[in-house]
Structure 1
Amino acid sequence: MSFYTELLICVLLVIGGIFLLIGSIGLARLPDVFTRLHGPTKATTLGITGVLLASMIYQTLNQGHFSVSELLITLFLLITAPVAANMIAKTALHRENSAIPRTTGLSLLNNIRQRKAADAKEED
Protein backbone atom coordinates (compact mmCIF):
# COMPACT_ATOMS: atom_id res chain seq x y z
CA MET A 1 0.00 0.00 0.00
CA SER A 2 1.36 3.43 -0.88
CA PHE A 3 2.12 6.17 1.59
CA TYR A 4 -0.64 8.43 0.26
CA THR A 5 -3.27 5.72 0.59
CA GLU A 6 -2.24 5.05 4.17
CA LEU A 7 -2.27 8.79 4.84
CA LEU A 8 -5.79 9.10 3.42
CA ILE A 9 -7.00 6.19 5.55
CA CYS A 10 -5.39 7.71 8.67
CA VAL A 11 -6.89 11.14 7.99
CA LEU A 12 -10.36 9.65 7.51
CA LEU A 13 -10.02 7.66 10.74
CA VAL A 14 -8.85 10.67 12.74
CA ILE A 15 -11.57 12.94 11.35
CA GLY A 16 -14.17 10.24 11.95
CA GLY A 17 -12.91 9.70 15.49
CA ILE A 18 -13.05 13.43 16.25
CA PHE A 19 -16.62 13.69 15.00
CA LEU A 20 -17.61 10.59 16.99
CA LEU A 21 -16.06 12.06 20.14
CA ILE A 22 -17.79 15.41 19.65
CA GLY A 23 -21.13 13.72 19.00
CA SER A 24 -20.80 11.53 22.08
CA ILE A 25 -19.88 14.48 24.29
CA GLY A 26 -22.83 16.42 22.89
CA LEU A 27 -25.19 13.55 23.61
CA ALA A 28 -23.99 13.37 27.20
CA ARG A 29 -23.78 17.09 28.00
CA LEU A 30 -26.55 18.91 26.16
CA PRO A 31 -29.46 19.88 28.43
CA ASP A 32 -32.68 18.71 26.78
CA VAL A 33 -33.91 16.14 24.29
CA PHE A 34 -34.29 18.64 21.46
CA THR A 35 -30.67 19.79 21.63
CA ARG A 36 -29.39 16.27 22.32
CA LEU A 37 -30.66 15.16 18.94
CA HIS A 38 -27.86 17.04 17.21
CA GLY A 39 -25.09 14.89 18.71
CA PRO A 40 -26.01 11.50 17.29
CA THR A 41 -27.69 12.70 14.12
CA LYS A 42 -25.10 15.12 12.83
CA ALA A 43 -21.65 14.64 14.33
CA THR A 44 -21.83 10.93 14.97
CA THR A 45 -23.21 10.22 11.51
CA LEU A 46 -20.31 12.14 9.96
CA GLY A 47 -17.88 10.32 12.25
CA ILE A 48 -19.06 6.84 11.40
CA THR A 49 -19.09 7.81 7.72
CA GLY A 50 -15.40 8.75 7.94
CA VAL A 51 -14.53 5.48 9.67
CA LEU A 52 -16.52 3.42 7.18
CA LEU A 53 -14.97 5.22 4.20
CA ALA A 54 -11.51 4.48 5.60
CA SER A 55 -12.53 0.85 6.05
CA MET A 56 -13.91 0.72 2.51
CA ILE A 57 -10.65 2.04 1.04
CA TYR A 58 -8.56 -0.37 3.12
CA GLN A 59 -10.70 -3.41 2.32
CA THR A 60 -10.82 -2.54 -1.38
CA LEU A 61 -7.04 -2.39 -1.58
CA ASN A 62 -6.55 -5.42 0.66
CA GLN A 63 -9.02 -7.72 -1.15
CA GLY A 64 -8.33 -6.50 -4.66
CA HIS A 65 -11.98 -5.74 -5.50
CA PHE A 66 -14.44 -3.04 -4.51
CA SER A 67 -15.87 -3.46 -1.00
CA VAL A 68 -19.61 -2.77 -1.11
CA SER A 69 -20.62 -3.65 2.46
CA GLU A 70 -19.14 -0.50 4.03
CA LEU A 71 -20.78 1.65 1.38
CA LEU A 72 -24.17 0.05 2.06
CA ILE A 73 -23.77 0.54 5.83
CA THR A 74 -22.89 4.21 5.26
CA LEU A 75 -25.90 4.77 3.02
CA PHE A 76 -28.17 3.02 5.52
CA LEU A 77 -26.93 5.24 8.35
CA LEU A 78 -27.23 8.42 6.29
CA ILE A 79 -30.83 7.55 5.41
CA THR A 80 -32.03 6.31 8.81
CA ALA A 81 -30.40 8.86 11.17
CA PRO A 82 -32.62 11.81 10.13
CA VAL A 83 -35.72 9.62 10.22
CA ALA A 84 -34.88 8.42 13.72
CA ALA A 85 -34.23 11.99 14.89
CA ASN A 86 -37.59 13.08 13.49
CA MET A 87 -39.37 10.28 15.32
CA ILE A 88 -37.60 11.10 18.60
CA ALA A 89 -38.53 14.79 18.23
CA LYS A 90 -42.17 13.90 17.52
CA THR A 91 -42.24 11.64 20.57
CA ALA A 92 -40.78 14.42 22.73
CA LEU A 93 -43.45 16.81 21.43
CA HIS A 94 -46.19 14.26 22.07
CA ARG A 95 -44.97 13.62 25.62
CA GLU A 96 -44.73 17.42 26.12
CA ASN A 97 -41.09 17.40 27.18
CA SER A 98 -39.95 20.87 28.13
CA ALA A 99 -37.26 22.69 26.22
CA ILE A 100 -34.69 24.98 27.78
CA PRO A 101 -35.59 28.70 27.66
CA ARG A 102 -32.76 29.50 25.21
CA THR A 103 -34.24 27.19 22.58
CA THR A 104 -35.25 29.09 19.47
CA GLY A 105 -38.74 28.43 18.20
CA LEU A 106 -40.41 28.08 21.60
CA SER A 107 -43.36 30.05 20.23
CA LEU A 108 -43.83 27.34 17.59
CA LEU A 109 -43.71 24.69 20.31
CA ASN A 110 -46.34 26.56 22.30
CA ASN A 111 -48.54 26.96 19.19
CA ILE A 112 -48.42 23.22 18.58
CA ARG A 113 -49.39 22.49 22.18
CA GLN A 114 -52.25 25.02 22.11
CA ARG A 115 -53.55 23.55 18.85
CA LYS A 116 -53.35 20.08 20.34
CA ALA A 117 -55.30 21.24 23.44
CA ALA A 118 -57.94 22.89 21.25
CA ASP A 119 -58.33 19.71 19.20
CA ALA A 120 -58.74 17.70 22.40
CA LYS A 121 -61.50 20.06 23.61
CA GLU A 122 -63.34 19.77 20.29
CA GLU A 123 -63.33 15.98 20.56
CA ASP A 124 -64.97 16.13 24.00
Structure 2
Amino acid sequence: MIGDIISATLILVGCTLALTASIGLLRFPDTLSRMHAATKPQTFGLLMILLGAVVRLGRNLDSGMLILAGLFALITAPVVAHRIGRLAYQEQRARDGLMDRRDMDAPDRD
Protein backbone atom coordinates (compact mmCIF):
# COMPACT_ATOMS: atom_id res chain seq x y z
CA MET A 1 0.00 0.00 0.00
CA ILE A 2 2.73 2.50 0.94
CA GLY A 3 4.84 1.36 -2.03
CA ASP A 4 1.94 2.16 -4.34
CA ILE A 5 1.61 5.67 -2.91
CA ILE A 6 5.34 6.32 -3.25
CA SER A 7 5.33 4.92 -6.77
CA ALA A 8 2.34 7.01 -7.82
CA THR A 9 3.90 10.14 -6.32
CA LEU A 10 7.19 9.61 -8.14
CA ILE A 11 5.44 8.95 -11.44
CA LEU A 12 3.24 12.02 -11.01
CA VAL A 13 6.26 14.23 -10.24
CA GLY A 14 8.07 12.82 -13.28
CA CYS A 15 5.09 13.47 -15.53
CA THR A 16 4.83 17.04 -14.23
CA LEU A 17 8.50 17.66 -14.99
CA ALA A 18 8.10 16.23 -18.48
CA LEU A 19 5.08 18.49 -19.01
CA THR A 20 7.01 21.57 -17.92
CA ALA A 21 9.83 20.58 -20.29
CA SER A 22 7.43 20.38 -23.21
CA ILE A 23 5.88 23.74 -22.31
CA GLY A 24 9.39 25.22 -22.15
CA LEU A 25 10.12 23.90 -25.63
CA LEU A 26 7.10 25.75 -26.94
CA ARG A 27 7.51 28.98 -24.99
CA PHE A 28 11.24 29.75 -24.97
CA PRO A 29 12.44 32.02 -27.78
CA ASP A 30 15.89 30.75 -28.77
CA THR A 31 17.69 27.46 -29.31
CA LEU A 32 19.86 27.55 -26.19
CA SER A 33 16.88 28.19 -23.91
CA ARG A 34 14.90 25.43 -25.58
CA MET A 35 17.84 23.09 -25.27
CA HIS A 36 17.94 23.73 -21.52
CA ALA A 37 14.21 23.01 -21.24
CA ALA A 38 14.59 19.83 -23.25
CA THR A 39 17.44 18.35 -21.25
CA LYS A 40 17.28 19.31 -17.59
CA PRO A 41 13.67 18.71 -16.46
CA GLN A 42 13.05 16.06 -19.11
CA THR A 43 15.91 13.86 -17.89
CA PHE A 44 15.00 14.33 -14.24
CA GLY A 45 11.34 13.61 -15.05
CA LEU A 46 12.30 10.41 -16.85
CA LEU A 47 14.38 9.33 -13.87
CA MET A 48 11.46 9.98 -11.51
CA ILE A 49 9.12 7.92 -13.70
CA LEU A 50 11.63 5.08 -13.91
CA LEU A 51 12.20 5.20 -10.15
CA GLY A 52 8.46 5.03 -9.55
CA ALA A 53 8.24 2.00 -11.83
CA VAL A 54 11.14 0.33 -9.99
CA VAL A 55 9.40 0.92 -6.65
CA ARG A 56 6.20 -0.56 -8.07
CA LEU A 57 7.92 -3.61 -9.57
CA GLY A 58 9.95 -4.38 -6.45
CA ARG A 59 12.44 -7.24 -6.86
CA ASN A 60 11.44 -8.05 -10.42
CA LEU A 61 14.00 -8.74 -13.14
CA ASP A 62 12.63 -5.82 -15.17
CA SER A 63 13.82 -3.38 -12.50
CA GLY A 64 17.39 -3.88 -13.67
CA MET A 65 16.43 -2.92 -17.21
CA LEU A 66 14.75 0.25 -15.93
CA ILE A 67 17.88 1.16 -14.00
CA LEU A 68 19.99 0.63 -17.14
CA ALA A 69 17.61 2.81 -19.13
CA GLY A 70 17.99 5.57 -16.52
CA LEU A 71 21.78 5.31 -16.59
CA PHE A 72 21.77 5.48 -20.38
CA ALA A 73 19.65 8.64 -20.24
CA LEU A 74 22.04 10.19 -17.71
CA ILE A 75 25.03 9.41 -19.90
CA THR A 76 23.65 10.53 -23.27
CA ALA A 77 21.56 13.61 -22.41
CA PRO A 78 24.48 15.91 -21.45
CA VAL A 79 26.51 14.87 -24.49
CA VAL A 80 23.65 15.56 -26.89
CA ALA A 81 22.88 18.88 -25.19
CA HIS A 82 26.52 19.94 -25.45
CA ARG A 83 26.71 19.13 -29.15
CA ILE A 84 23.44 20.94 -29.94
CA GLY A 85 24.47 23.98 -27.90
CA ARG A 86 27.87 24.15 -29.53
CA LEU A 87 26.39 23.89 -33.01
CA ALA A 88 23.79 26.58 -32.27
CA TYR A 89 26.48 28.88 -30.86
CA GLN A 90 28.75 28.39 -33.87
CA GLU A 91 25.91 28.96 -36.33
CA GLN A 92 24.90 32.19 -34.54
CA ARG A 93 28.47 33.49 -34.60
CA ALA A 94 28.79 32.61 -38.30
CA ARG A 95 25.53 34.42 -39.05
CA ASP A 96 26.64 37.53 -37.17
CA GLY A 97 29.95 37.60 -39.06
CA LEU A 98 32.03 36.94 -35.94
CA MET A 99 33.27 33.62 -37.22
CA ASP A 100 34.55 32.44 -40.56
CA ARG A 101 33.03 29.29 -42.07
CA ARG A 102 36.47 27.68 -42.04
CA ASP A 103 36.52 27.98 -38.22
CA MET A 104 33.54 25.68 -38.03
CA ASP A 105 35.33 22.95 -39.97
CA ALA A 106 38.40 22.93 -37.74
CA PRO A 107 38.77 19.88 -35.49
CA ASP A 108 37.92 20.27 -31.82
CA ARG A 109 40.93 21.11 -29.69
CA ASP A 110 39.24 21.46 -26.32
TM range (shorter): 0.7 to 0.9
Give the corresponding residue for 1:107: none
Give the corresponding residue for 2:69: 73
Residue aligned with 2:63, SS: coil
Matches within 5 A, 1:11-90: 11-61=9-59, 63=60, 65=61, 67-90=63-86
TM-score (norm. length: structure 1): 0.72
Structure with higher Rg: it is 1
Gaps in structure 1 of 5+ consecutive residues? 98-109
Aligned residues: 101
In structure 2, what is the Cα distance between the partners aligned to 1:56 and 1:69? 10
Kindly provide the amino acid, as one letter, of the partner of residue 20 in structure 2: I
TM-score (norm. length: structure 2): 0.80
Percent identity of paired positions between Structure 1 and Structure 2: 31
Coordinate RMSD, CA, aligned: 2.3
Contact 1:27 1:36 in 2 (8 A): yes
TM superposition shift of 1:66:
6.8
Contact 1:45 1:78 in 2 (8 A): yes
Between 1 and 2, higher relative CO (CA 8 Å, sep ≥ 6) is seen in: 2
